[in-house]
Amino acid sequence: MSTALVILAAGKGTRMRSDLPKVLHKVAHAPLLIHAMRSGAELEPERTVIVTGHGAEAVEAVARDHDEAAICVVQAEQLGTGHAVQHARDALAGFTGDVIVLYGDTPFIRPETLAKMAEARASHDVVVLGFEAADPGKYGRLVMQGDALHKIVEFKDATKAQRAITLCNSGVVAASAETLFALLDKVDNDNASGEYYLTDIVGLARTDGLSATAVTCDEAETMGVNSRADLAAAEAAFQRARRAELLDSGVTLTAPETVFLAYDTHIGPDTEIEPNVVFGPGVTIENGAQIRAFSHLEGCHVSRGAIVGPYARLRPGAELSEDVRVGNFVEIKNATLEARAKVNHLSYVGDASVGEATNIGAGTITCNYDGVFKHRTTIGARAFIGSNTMLVAPVTVGDEAMTASGTVVTRDVPEGALAMARANQTNREGLARKMFDMLKSKKARKAKEQS
């Protein structure tokens, strides 16, 4: 059965108190909307329709950046969830499979849960995702009759007895496109909110002799974001869950609660992550690497056996091969370090390639930026870059070459050569002692004047 996703993302999110549309606020570095899209994408949908409204252009740009094929439709006036889904009708013209409706502000619905709903669709016309709520609050209530879902009542419209029901509506619904739109045509706004409720399709289905049921999931999956406090709670929930998954998969986290992961962080088994490590988006760490305390990584790849940190910063395009060492106060950006290369102390290596087993001494800087353009530094294999070398790019240092410490390299260094570019040293016998005496007597004179 082919599937289409309809993701509702038109709401303003007033309680966020933000100029940014709610669904673009981020959890683990990805907009809420992208979490919903990624989860739905596991069903390999034939079409993905996003219903936008507030901040439509910005939402569309983010959605299409993530999935070029996503179709965005604008719901100019938000007259309810049923009204919102109606807006997807044209985008789904000719589509005959199943439609799954998701919310753009509900990031944690698991793909497995959606798969369970798709399965339940085999024997029911309408499938709703429900959950047992610890505090049912204002959620819509699922009125069951045995295994059948009889109807959904919104809190505002519910009787006292219905409000006592704890099985609540998550908002996720599945039905065939044909059934969904036929039922939506019958939905009116004759209710306490004056809105077109998507939830009304259940009662209407039953009246038409169609079957409906509820699949349930853990309440944590249905967590929605309406405020900054919710956003922080969602972030915490994401981090907790992802840390637990990594521990289960064989990654050592010395102090899991201090490690912050991005939505797409990949870490292989037998890697050790020390306390206070932060992952931005786009990081892959292979098996058996070590990321030491207080390091910050984003957009980079770390191979087996590499040791990074403590206090290292890997920026986008940092590519570390096997057994590379990147030590404290070192920043690597858009640079490839071949196997066993070492940059252990206080260095900046940007827009560069560093050959196998090359050692970069403390305080080395690739001067990659001339104020307008960026330039590359290429260093060969088994080279030795002396401490405090400035590599003024574009520049190439050959295999097995050396630079003397303090050298400012402005011309290419041939293979096997030693580059030395610094002022010659002179020693003036006794001059230091003379200077000290002079300065100390000056200090004594000043002290006397002030007393």
Give the tokens for residue 272: 């050790």
Nearest-approach distance from CB 147 to ligand UD1, in angstroms: 20
Q: Which of 39, 48, 75, 303 binds ligand UD1 (CB under 6 A)?
A: 75
Region for residue 215 given its phi and psi (left: phi exceeds 0; alpha: psi -120 to 50; beta: otherwise): beta
Output the CA torsion 360→365→366→368 (10° steps).
Answer: 170
Q: Does 197 bind ligand UD1 (CB under 6 A)?
A: yes
Task: Please say if 345 is a catalytic residue.
Answer: yes
CA dihedral for 387, 390, 391, 397, sign (positive or negative): negative
Can you tell me whether residue 449 is helix, strand or coil? Answer: helix
Q: Does 299 bind ligand UD1 (CB under 6 A)?
A: no
Residues 1-40: x where in contact with ligand UD1 by CB under 6 A, - otherwise, as a string: -------xxxx-----------------------------
- Within 10 angstroms of residue 270's Cβ, the number of other Cβ atoms is 14
Q: Does 154 bind ligand UD1 (CB under 6 A)?
A: yes
Q: Does 149 bind ligand UD1 (CB under 6 A)?
A: no
186 contact partners, CB below 8 Å, separation of at least 6: 204
> 402, 419 in Cβ contact below 8 A?
yes
Q: Does 230 bind ligand UD1 (CB under 6 A)?
A: no
Q: How many residues bind ligand UD1 (CB under 6 A)?
A: 28
Residue from 401, 359, 350, 402 nearest 377 by CA: 350
Window contacting ligand UD1 (CB under 6 A); options: 75-83, 108-116, 299-307, 407-415: 75-83
Q: Which of 49, 51, 109, 234 binds ligand UD1 (CB under 6 A)?
A: 51
| Of 66, 266, 296, 345, catalytic | 345
Give the tokens for residue 32: 């809420």
CA dihedral for 145, 151, 155, 159, sign (positive or negative): negative
Nearest-approach distance from CB 68 to ligand UD1, in angstroms: 22
Window contacting ligand UD1 (CB under 6 A); options: 77-85, 240-248, 255-263, 369-377: 77-85
Nearest-approach distance from CB 82 to ligand UD1, in angstroms: 7
Q: Does 60 bind ligand UD1 (CB under 6 A)?
A: no
User: How far is Cα 59 from Cα 24, in angstroms, rounded to an integer?
Assistant: 7
Looking up tokens 């007597």, which residue turns up? 441
Q: Which of 5, 6, 60, 105 binds ligand UD1 (CB under 6 A)?
A: 105
Q: Does 104 bind ligand UD1 (CB under 6 A)?
A: yes
Nearest-approach distance from CB 111 to ligand UD1, in angstroms: 19
Q: Give phi and psi for 57, each to the nearest 5.
A: -65, -45
Q: Does 107 bind ligand UD1 (CB under 6 A)?
A: no
69 contact partners, CB below 8 Å, separation of at least 6: 47, 48
Binding site for ligand UD1 (CB under 6 A): 8-11, 51, 53, 75, 78-81, 83-84, 103-105, 139-140, 152, 154, 168-171, 197-199, 224
Known catalytic residues? 345
